[in-house]
Amino acid sequence: MPIQDFLTAQEECRVCMTKCKGEWEGLLALVEQAPQFTAGAFAQSVDDRMPKLQRATRASLARLSIFLQVLNEIESEKQATEGG
């Protein structure tokens, strides 16, 4: 497996995790501002953020899974070339 596959998978994982982190940070900021909202307004704000947060989380997990597959393939190829 070329090193480029590893680097691409690593970068895609990093990008998705950074986006996901931003979504979680936005939700945390909303939680910290909760006293400024009525219960209904806070719940609506959380509901409004959920689709993006869920997409970002799923994308991060999918990219992490791909990254792990790439690492496993590299390890398998390494073992095969070393005869072990």
Please report how the helices 39-82 and 3-32 are oriented relative to each other, as an axis angle in degrees rounded to 10: 160
Report the sign of the C-alpha dihedral through residues 76, 78, 79, 81, in that order: positive
Cα radius of gyration rounded to whole Å, the chain: 19
Whole-model pTM above 0.85? no
How do residues 19-61 score in pLDDT, each as one tens digit? 999 999 999 999 999 999 999 999 999 999 999 999 999 999 9
Is the pLDDT higher at 48 or at 3? Answer: 48
